[in-house]
A and B are shown apart, each in its own frame.
Chain A
């Protein structure tokens, strides 16, 4: 029964005439009967909700932390004006906690035969696809005593993409890349192994790079430039198993891994390398292959948007097989996984040689700053035991990393904030060393 507060208030005020002039069933009937009659009229005169036509438009994607505006167009085909309250239902994580009620409710007046637009501003707090739930409309009568309420399902999906916060590191890493390329005015010697071109000597160039043979043929001094290899193949492998679900700070490890994978992909696509993505736990969660340099970042972001950690143990054997199939030629395989002892020793190490045989393997793992903090705890017995446990955990991670390094794997272990630049540096170092 969609009554309004006004009806209840009128009923309460009605107790005064009943008390003063009509203390009997007749008085009650007179007051409540006329109120019921007014409500019935109001109900009859309220614009029908069922016949409204609702359509949506607006943003279909947004980065996490940004806003998305979704517009709802309400057309009122009835001959009566629509005075309504409207709730645009979205999952709770579409708004900052505490602002859901304010953000989802609208007041709306649509004259007869016209249409109006209302905009719901989403500020999602979680990655993934956010599906619009039902739109509930409460249409009030002209007296505001009674209302009709009904729902409409107007499907719309807003895909919330990973925030890619590490893109702030991109300019500095690109500058470093250009230095490697020999394209900057800093004129560091291109450290690649591929002969690029001859150019005129400018003061500041490394004299060791002067090509005397070419200089002899010309009137000016010529230097050789080198550039790193291009068109290399990089396969980013995201482990979405249980170890990626643990929260470091406020976000799961998987989010930090994604962030660094995106920075690496952005950097590598600028460097002319091809980037593929594989997300795997016990089956393939996402696979992006063969995208052009301009297209790779949007498709990666899109594929990562819906990835969630699964609470299953990662099947390292399947992951290796899938990675080998996805990377047919010699590639750089970037494993974004964990350095926890048990999963690495029992899962990854036995099958690692299959990967290292043909490919260069880079393993990146998210370290927990809280553990480092615990390791420095001092003062009382509790703190010292915490420090001991943290030292033990860190020692185990170091030993695991050492074991992996012995297999020829480059290991990057850093806290979520530092992982993306550290991984980019590791990539640049490999590129500079010509190990791709």
Chain B
């Protein structure tokens, strides 16, 4: 080999081009998938965004009603946490709970506790069965919702009578309060109920559907009139939009957990230790090269069949066959020792005289030993083996 000979590249790592060739299909698929997801998100993002939010000008937002109220001197404030909502409750305040069903039972109880005696108005928009029972005791929701959306007042509530028919059709309620106003009935069950509190002049309004507050529907029927009257009865409107980031949702407000009690240095130090453990796992997980495969040879013991046969004899108690084999071997070994050709070893008349001549023994014993019937039990078989061994030793001795 000359010094200038080209040494072929031996690296098994793929080149950049190979990596590109291999992965471009996957990359293309991922890009397509992402593009599709973005496109779908863009196309479908025009509706259902900021529902019932007084800052949202969407179809399902409520900016219009907030603007109208501002024109009439009612200030609107949006709160997202329970603590703010509770602090805001007061005599000259209307508290609107936009989606009461998002509150946890604990939050609902707390909210109810602060609104009950405040003297202000509380409006519950489309409260479901369990939340309406906690936020407005005495009112129950019917599992069946109203079929029609637009309903007529049919009640003595001044606001309702002034507004006329409105889109309140949604959840239907019944109440046990005798002084409550049940309006806009759909098949005898009201979709708007006003329950005055026992003391302080406050009241709770339960609204079966949010439609009258939506930008989209405000200009239909008597919706605007009803909404403005209900929301504008106090100079301040607090619009409570329950949010997931509210820490009171966990319900463990007063109980301190172990993590709260530990100094934060320990927690962050432990987090860093977890990171270190992950790094150590990566360090140990990386092998120095793949396993090397190899074809394994067959491993069969040559004596396996003989051992199998021995176990078969044992299992079947084949004493006759075992004894026959042992006797036959013994005869084959004895015959040359006493001068009988091997071919005649299995003939009693040839072998026995020669043997008894050598041993001066009893011909009958020899016959039963070498040509006798099979032994009756295992002990007899063992004894037979020992006797055959003894006989062979005796013949070999002289």
Contact = CB atoms under 8 A, between A and B. Distances in A.
A380 B299 CA distance: 29
Contacts of B266: 19
Q: Which of A252, A378, A385, A392 has the most CB of B within 10 A?
A: A385
B310 A389 contact: yes
Contact of A12 (B276, B304, B310): B276
A384 interface: yes
B303 A8 contact: no
Interface residues of A, number: 83
Contacts of A385: 310-311, 313-314, 322
Interface stretch (B182-190, B214-222, B379-387): B379-387
Contact of A8 (B280, B292, B304, B385): B280
Contact of A15 (B272, B306, B328, B378): B272
B138 to A, nearest CB: 49
Given A31-B272, A133-B292, A152 B10 contact: yes
B11 A368 contact: no
Q: Which of A27, A105, A253, A366 has the most CB of B within 10 A?
A: A27
Interface in A202-247: 245-247
Contacts of B303: 246, 248, 368, 370-371, 374
B283 A4 contact: yes
Contact of A19 (B268, B302, B310): B268
B294 interface: yes
A2 B286 contact: yes
A50 B306 CA distance: 57
B279 A384 contact: no
A384 B292 contact: no
Q: Which of B11, B266, B381 has the most CB of A within 10 A?
A: B11
Interface stretch (A164-172, A286-294, A343-351, A393-401): A393-401
Nearest to B330: A391
B22 interface: no
Given A247-B301, A388-B325, A20 B265 contact: yes
B276 to A, nearest CB: 4
Nearest to A86: B288
Contacts of B378: 381, 384
B276 A15 contact: yes
B257 interface: no
A394 B79 CA distance: 99
Nearest to B385: A384
A28 to B, nearest CB: 6
A311 B298 contact: yes
Interface in B262-312: 263-273, 275-277, 279-280, 282-283, 286, 288-290, 292-294, 297-307, 309-311
26 contacts: A7-B283, A8-B280, A12-B273, A16-B269, A19-B272, A23-B269, A28-B275, A49-B11, A50-B11, A52-B11, A89-B292, A91-B292, A149-B288, A150-B12, A151-B289, A246-B303, A247-B302, A248-B303, A385-B314, A388-B323, A388-B325, A389-B307, A389-B313, A391-B325, A392-B325, A394-B329
Q: Which 9 A-B pairs have the closest CB atoms?
A: A136-B289, A19-B269, A246-B302, A388-B322, A11-B276, A389-B310, A15-B272, A12-B276, A8-B280
Interface of B: 7, 10-13, 263-273, 275-277, 279-280, 282-283, 286, 288-290, 292-294, 297-307, 309-311, 313-314, 321-323, 325-326, 328-329, 332, 378, 381-382, 385-386, 389
